[in-house]
Structure 1
Amino acid sequence: MDLKDKVAIITGGASGLGEATLRRFVAHGATCAIFDMNEERGAALVEELGDNVIYQQVNVTDEASVSSAIQSVEAAFGPAHICCNYAGIAWAAKTYHPKNGPHPLEDFKRVVDVNLIGTFNVARLAAESMMKNDPIDDDGQRGVIINTASVAGYEGQIGQVAYSATKGGVIGMTIVIARDLAELGIRCNTIVPGLIHTPMFDTLPENIFQALENSVLNPQRLGKPDEIAKTAQYLVENDYVNGECIRMDGGIRMTPR
């Protein structure tokens, strides 16, 4: 599927990996909808990037919020062809801590709600929109869903029990969504990032930042957001990639801490 003249929904599109993907997709001729909670940043990106971008304030865990936003996308650009799910949150707490007690259950539920249920919520409703498209080629392709997991879904570190559970869930549902939607001409794949240089890393002390870079196999640095965006572009454009979880991590294998 060529990006040119396609309609893309990008959750978490106002920052980080989502913003990098937004910029790459727009540069290649796609029209994009930013689904994000950060209204100020979303509006700034629309002003910068022009008429091919709209912003929708969306809570990915809320069915009505997502449905309303997709209707707005369809009114502005037409049905979606692409859905990139980047929206997510992180939380650190041990299963049990001698001083703090058991992991707070409400915090575990909150991470699951955003990272796992939110991803599925947007994916299922985006698929409904994609079904309004006529097939765009002889293979009957209508759309592609790209979810985002993490290497923590395979090798979670101490304190990442909630985050790792959600990312493992995203990995696990990839092939099932691909199978569910295959006869409809909709593909589903998942990007599995390692240590990607987003703004939160800029607050770390130099020695910790260097240690993180040294933990990467090759190249020995943090990944760049546009390297994730390039992978998203590849997954859109290569119609024979389906049901895959692609690690983008420089060969890192996370240690317990």
Structure 2
Amino acid sequence: MKPTGRTFIISGGCSGLGLATARDLHQAGAYVALLDVNADAGKTVIQQFGDQRVKFFQTDVSETSSLEAAVNSTVEWIRQTASALVGVVAAAGVGLPAKIYDARTESPVPISTIDFVLNINLRGTLDLIRLAVPHMVKNDPLTEDGERGVIIMVSSSAAFDGQPGQVAYAASKGAVASLTLPLARDLARYGIRAVTIAPSLFDSAMTRQLPEKARKSLERAMEFPVRAGNPEEFSSLVMQSVTNSMLNGTVLRLDGAMRMPSKM
């Protein structure tokens, strides 16, 4: 499927992996709807891209009403551009590390911390998908195979080898990995594919918050290359997932052969 002249929704689209993806899709001639909670970042990105083929919608992916407003606004924009909604890239995510039990306070992790991570990483992903799919199934076939679109989700190395303090994060990213195949099977009859990318340590707003010691420890766990991934390396795999119709129902690890250690 070619992205040119077609519309993609990207959550978390104004920083890190989402922004790199938006840039590549825009350069390929796509229309891009950027969903992000950070209004200042949205304004900055619009200034960089220009207002042709790009829209920003301030969105809290943990709130259904906010997502509904963003998707409805995107659909209204599509009516003006006559550019079909063919793709969703669910890249909004948070970390918020916390161990299940804190020996210092002799208390479990607050359920509010778990809810915060799950609501953005998992619920927000599913909510965006379920709101976008009804519009995608109405597309005319885009290829000889009858393809109508693609959904690309973001998991993590933590889904497979999460570290201490990543119980909520690993649960959210493991769930995204697990839902990939059933989602692809749900949507196969409509010609809509589902692909998940599971990156390891990548340069992003979330990983920049890591202490330098923790970051260096993770980099040493990389086999090759021994460094954090670049957002452009992530977005290039997104572009391959868009254009290669045989990528469906699968989780693609993008990790430099990294297996995260139990201890830093």
**Smaller-chain TM-score range?**
over 0.9
| Residue equivalent to 2:32 | 32
- Match for 2:77: what amino acid? A
| Residue equivalent to 1:91 | 96
- The superposition leaves residues 190-229 of structure 1 with CA deviations (integer Å, 9 ceiling, x where unpaired) of 0000000224555666655443322201111111001000
| Residue equivalent to 2:77 | 76
Could you tell me how far apart the structure 1 residues matched to 2:168 and 2:260 are? 16
How many angstroms does 1:132 deviate by?
2.4
Change (3 A) 1:199 1:118: closer
Verify the 8 A CA contact 1:79 1:132 in the aligned structure 2.
Answer: no
1:203-214 to structure 2, matched below 5 A, reads: 208-214=214-220
In structure 2, runs of 5+ residues without a counterpart are none
- Matching residue within 175, 180, 183 for 2:181: 175
How many angstroms does 1:128 deviate by?
1.3
- The superposition leaves residues 2-43 of structure 1 with CA deviations (integer Å, 9 ceiling, x where unpaired) of 111110000000100000101111011111000001111112
| Residue equivalent to 1:53 | 54
Could you tell me how far apart the structure 2 residues matched to 1:20 and 1:204 are? 21
Change (3 A) 1:59 1:206: closer
1:1-257 to structure 2, matched below 5 A, reads: 1-50=1-50, 51-77=52-78, 78-100=83-105, 101-199=107-205, 201=207, 208-257=214-263
Could you tell me how far apart the structure 1 residues matched to 2:216 and 2:118 are? 31
- The superposition leaves residues 167-205 of structure 1 with CA deviations (integer Å, 9 ceiling, x where unpaired) of 000001000110001001110010000000224555666
- Match for 1:96: what amino acid? Y
Change (3 A) 1:159 1:131: same
Could you tell me how far apart the structure 2 residues matched to 1:186 and 1:206 are? 41
Find the residue that maps to 2:144 and give its secondary structure.
coil
Verify the 8 A CA contact 1:21 1:232 in the aligned structure 2.
Answer: yes
Verify the 8 A CA contact 1:73 1:79 in the aligned structure 2.
Answer: no
Change (3 A) 1:79 1:71: farther
Q: Percent identity?
A: 38
Find the residue that maps to 2:262 and give its secondary structure.
coil
Find the residue that maps to 2:9 and give its secondary structure.
strand
| Segments ≥4 residues shifted beyond 3 Å | 199-211
Verify the 8 A CA contact 2:122 2:176 in the aligned structure 1.
Answer: yes
Find the residue that maps to 1:81 and give its secondary structure.
strand
- Match for 2:98: what amino acid? A
In structure 1, runs of 5+ residues without a counterpart are none
Moved more, 159-168 or 124-133: 124-133
Q: Number of residue pairs matched?
A: 257
Change (3 A) 1:104 1:208: closer
> TM-score under structure 2 normalisation?
0.93
- Match for 1:67: what amino acid? E
Verify the 8 A CA contact 1:38 1:57 in the aligned structure 2.
Answer: yes
Change (3 A) 1:137 1:120: same
- The superposition leaves residues 98-141 of structure 1 with CA deviations (integer Å, 9 ceiling, x where unpaired) of 22211111211221111111100001111112122111122111
How many angstroms does 1:61 deviate by?
2.1
